[in-house]
Amino acid sequence: MLRYILLLCDKEKVFRAALGLYDLDLAAKVGARAQKDPHEYVPWFEKLRELPVHMQRFQIDDYLGSQF
């Protein structure tokens, strides 16, 4: 189903939507299926996982900015 969504929609928007759900596993799957460079998001996700939940959400919101 993820392949179908990525076929129909902009891959970057789907990635940002997955991040907006604060689900790092889903965002990583979307990034892999969207053929994003893992060097861009995997180290950042690893750093996020070490933070408390409220700080993770703050960092994600800061990344997404006002576009989401």
Token representation of residue 26: 């889903």
pTM for the full predicted model: 0.84
Span 3-60, pLDDT tens digits: 899 889 999 999 999 999 999 999 999 999 988 899 989 999 999 999 999 999 999 9
Span 49-61, pLDDT tens digits: 999 999 999 999 9
Domain that holds residue 25: 2-67
Q: For the chain, how many structural domains are there in total?
A: 1
Output Rg (C-alpha) for the chain, integer angstroms: 12
- Integer Cα distance of 51 and 6 in angstroms: 29
